[in-house]
Amino acid sequence: MSTRPFIAARVEEFIDRRIEALLRGLGWRERVICYTGYGSSEQLRVLGRVILVPHRARTTFGKATEELIRRRGFRNFFSAARVRAPFTVTVNGRTVHGVTDRGGYIDLRVRDHGLQPGWEQVEVQTAESEPEWAAVHVIADSARFGLISDIDDTIISTFLPRPMIAAWNSFIRDESARQAVPGMARMYASMLARHPGAPVVYLSTGAWNTHGFLARFLKRHNFPPGPMLLTDWGPTNTGWFRSGWEHKAAALLQLTRDFPQISWLLVGDDGQHDPAIYTEFARIAPDRVRAIAIRQLTAAEQVLAHGTTGMIDPDDEVADIPWVSAPDGRGLLSELDRLLHHD
């Protein structure tokens, strides 16, 4: 069997390299975008991307225009990847080398980092870029509880994946117009307050291009900070399109390997595949699931999300795994308080 990447992936990389050569000829330069990472006492996972950017606007009008465009969703999806770019990560004075993938993405494991539990920063840069600082949440070995949350229609109303509405929400609307699902931030804060040092991880099929917007959204609406595990839209090494289901399932399994001592509260919604994904994960690793909390979409949201009014099938629930559902964070918190009152 051939080990060569799927033809679409090879074509995408060929095009990206040609675009990179063109933009370099126009004077564009490398820039590192840092995503929020995580780690344990054994290793860190540093995430980011290297792209090419033009020189920043120098006039007041140019800077104002640049900021206005940045706050529109479509700006997030226009970036030029720096394919196979060498980079360095510096932690506690120790430098580790890596190379971006064909999409310009950084996903580097750093062992023997020597950092203490809590929020830390590491330096990331290329030979041509300015150094940037990546936030990483180092989780204590004593942590036994964590929260994994979906994003779309769980904490932010997006009405995905119906294409016209999704496109309007993602590409046109100003960031400040996006709405948080009521009560979810309070629910997360309440659950984490009971478990000091517990991590929260945001897991979504959304594109890495939206990381900056999502980080600002979380802060604006008082959601606890945490790493985001997103995906890269487009061809993979094995096919034309990425599978959102596979992305979430693989990320859940990876987190159990990174933190084998943690039992997770899984939070999602019933608009797409969260109940089925979480149920399958609970069957595979029941000792790694503390509870499952599903936000119930309204009938109108169900139709907008996937064209049906179907709700959760109780037969899909896993025996011995606490399972709650409610239309908002207040209802979910009330149900979780009832089931997990001894935590």
- pLDDT truncated to tens, each residue of the chain (343 aa)? 444 555 655 666 667 777 777 877 888 889 999 999 999 999 999 999 999 988 764 455 444 444 544 554 444 445 688 889 999 999 999 999 999 998 899 999 999 999 999 999 999 999 999 999 999 999 999 999 999 999 989 999 875 544 444 444 444 445 566 789 999 999 999 999 999 999 999 999 888 988 988 999 999 999 999 999 998 765 455 444 556 778 999 999 999 999 999 999 999 999 878 999 999 999 999 999 999 999 998 777 776 665 444 444 544 566 688 999 999 999 999 999 988 765 6
Global confidence as pTM: 0.84
With DSSP H G I counted as helix, E B as strand and the rest as coil, what are the percentages for the chain, rounded to 5? 35, 30, 35
Q: At 104, which amino acid appears?
A: G
For 7-138, CATH gives 2.60.40.10
Q: Is the peptide bond before 161 cis (omega within 30 degrees of 0)?
A: yes
At residue 14, the pLDDT reads: 67
Residues 6+ apart with CB under 8 A from 1: none
At residue 91, the pLDDT reads: 97
Residues 6+ apart with CB under 8 A from 165: 159, 304
- Report the DSSP beta bridge partners of residue 146: 264
Instruction: Give the integer Cα–Cα distance in Å for 158 and 291.
Output: 25
Going from N- to C-terminal start, the domains of the chain cover 7-138, 145-339
Instruction: Give the integer Cα–Cα distance in Å for 274 and 260.
Output: 22
Q: Which CATH superfamily includes the segment(s) 145-339?
A: HAD superfamily/HAD-like (3.40.50.1000)
Q: Please give the angle made by the CA atoms of 140, 143 and 148, to the nearest 5 degrees.
A: 110
